[in-house]
Chains A and B, each alone.
Chain A
């Protein structure tokens, strides 16, 4: 394992890596670099690949565009609303599914189904659940004496509806990862803790949570990155619109609209790079916190 790299070994390794590199290179690196340059195009012919002028105008434009700030704000609300709640709920469910209960396999399947179902199909069901007159959610809330909420047509409720859908949708994946993390925890710790007289809550707090921290760390990074990139859910839940009166427009929706709608390729690329930068900063912060708090 500690051998020095030799030419022969390197070439061999590169041969193994080439297929994946080619694919990643074509579909990830090339677009990433290309859009970086494009974000500086201010006067250009996109279809003939001609550039007449470059500059910072695209960045200046988006930072002065209230719609862009609104989309950043919405995306932040989405991340803050989805990630912590999703992690807590899936941890709790995973803990229960890890116990010796009947129909455990069935439950695991049930919780995983939302993750493998297409967003569009899921959204159709949720559009019905959220329907203010005929939806099952308002019907249920009616028993609690809560008057009907216009989940999908009131701009103030658009983001909460989106968050609820996203949490539910992401649960399955998080639960599976948590379950595998839970199964890696040595049973001996729990037995020792029981002998010391620790209750269920204390065992959970002092053994499960710290020993699961690397899993939690992984899930939090993946969920934050995915949440920043939210698009499908918005598109499908509000029928192709970014919510009533643009109230659920996210950064990726903004990019999509600038690119496909307005053919503002430079502005779309600039916005994409701002998003990349935000995600980059968040990931750095997480890595920093992770180093201090995570037990491996």
Chain B
């Protein structure tokens, strides 16, 4: 046994000495040429689009893609379902490592942050600005502002918004009627409604397990600032941060008029069983609640109640194209992105999925207006564009999110006091931010 260990160590030492040769960092940042993109596709191009859409979402995407392929003579888009978002993320990383990236994929901003740092995805600005295939200024500015900002890094666009959602308040209309309540619009009304609705086995208010992740929403609603992006300083360990966490903690732990999804994973289940009278969750869940709540409860949605001010995070993925693709493929991907984000298609997508249209012109379009009039549940999300924000583009965003979300959760499951939790959350989040920006 000793001998084996010995030999192993010697071997490892030998290889490690042999393998130690450092590369040198490229010193100058190369200026990218902006104008040189082809504007025509002359031979047939097939591009793969990796996505994570399932069920009805996937079917809708298939229909739209089919229509696109039929309209094109040279472009053929092949959809590849990669499972869940988690799977997609892992596969995209593995593909990048083995130099087999697809031409196009869905990606969240924090993935895009990593992709950009590693030079994996293409800057779309040359395509957007191109006179022949690009967007005019009015077409570009027609994209809802929060989505435009979300997709730009140092004034360059790296993505096109695709399936976008935000948080809404789901409420059980039967219970609300019984208690003569209206959808709450302020924190005070929310707490009052939760108090009134909590009786017997019913708990008034519900939060998703991801409540920790959405803590920035609450801090901003309380009038505070979550993180000072310019100075890279976490700033939620403040009067307002404390107010936000105290509000949540009081409802969940002290007054016991709210609960987390906990073992149920998502609030849609206890909500449709009638165990919870209202909850805050993603608008992308509307179709899931619809399926689960059928013939059990009547329900509706409303914009999030506001604190000192209104605030709601916009979520969902964008379309990106990888640097490994050749110019023809990139142009084909750009054509497909333009198509998916066009007014008609974004309306069609929103109508069939519960995501929000990404264009201002779509929001004012008569087709869409008529649709939300008939389906008011879908209207709550888009009413909140003015209050919309996105998590700032920071290196280490993923680590920051898991740092504060764990601590906030620890407070809400009763493991830590508000002060302790807030302090630890701020410290760990700052550490994560510092480590990534060293």
Q: Which residues of A contact B (CB under 8 A)?
A: 33, 36-37, 40, 43, 45-47, 50-54, 61, 127, 130-133, 150-155, 239-241, 244-247, 257, 260-264, 284, 287
Contacts and interface: CB of A to CB of B under 8 A. Distances in A.
Given A131-B264, A262-B399, A287-B1, 9 more contacts: A33-B15, A46-B118, A47-B119, A52-B22, A127-B265, A133-B275, A244-B209, A263-B93, A264-B399
B267 interface: no
Nearest to B8: A280
B89 interface: yes
Given A36-B12, A263-B93, A54 B20 contact: yes
Given A132-B263, A151-B263, A155-B410, A52 B118 contact: no
B97 interface: yes
B22 A47 contact: no
Contact of B97 (A46, A54, A133, A262): A46
B263 A150 contact: yes
A218 B96 CA distance: 41
Contact of B402 (A127, A132, A152, A261): A261
B9 to A, nearest CB: 12
A66 to B, nearest CB: 9
B118 A155 contact: no
A128 B22 CA distance: 53
B24 interface: yes
B260 interface: yes
B367 interface: no
B402 A257 contact: yes
Interface in B115-135: 118-120
Given A51-B23, A52-B22, A244 B413 contact: yes
12 contacts: A36-B12, A37-B16, A37-B19, A52-B22, A127-B265, A131-B264, A153-B260, A153-B413, A239-B209, A245-B407, A245-B409, A261-B402
Given A244-B413, A246-B406, A54 B263 contact: no
B421 to A, nearest CB: 9
B182 interface: no
Contacts of A287: 1
B263 A131 contact: yes
B90 interface: yes
Contacts of A54: 20, 22
B382 interface: no
B247 interface: no
B114 interface: yes
Contact of B1 (A127, A130, A284): A284
Contacts of B309: none
A152 B1 CA distance: 43
Given A46-B118, A245-B410, A245-B415, A153 B263 contact: yes
Contacts of B390: none
B263 A240 contact: no
A240 B86 contact: yes
B38 interface: no
Contacts of B16: 36-37, 40
**Which 8 A-B pairs rank lowest in CB-CB distance, beginning with the nearest?**
A153-B262, A152-B263, A245-B410, A245-B409, A50-B23, A239-B265, A246-B406, A262-B399
B25 interface: yes
| Most chain B CB atoms below 10 A, which of A36, A53, A261, A262 | A262
Contacts of A131: 263-264
B73 to A, nearest CB: 35
Contacts of A257: 402
| Most chain B CB atoms below 10 A, which of A40, A47, A127 | A47
B398 interface: yes
B170 to A, nearest CB: 19
A47 B118 contact: yes
Contact of A150 (B86, B96, B262, B410): B262
Nearest to A246: B406
Given A152-B262, A261-B398, A52 B15 contact: no
A294 B263 CA distance: 44
A260 B409 contact: no
A54 B260 CA distance: 44
Contacts of A262: 396, 398-399
Contacts of B402: 257, 261
Interface string B297-314: 000000000000000000
Interface string B239-274: 000000000000000000000101111000000000
Contact of A47 (B96, B209, B399): B96
Interface string B75-100: 00000000000100110010011000
Nearest to A239: B265
A260 B15 contact: no
B89 A260 contact: yes
A153 to B, nearest CB: 3
Contact of A51 (B22, B89, B415): B22
Contact of B413 (A61, A130, A240, A245): A245
Contact of B93 (A51, A152, A260, A264): A260
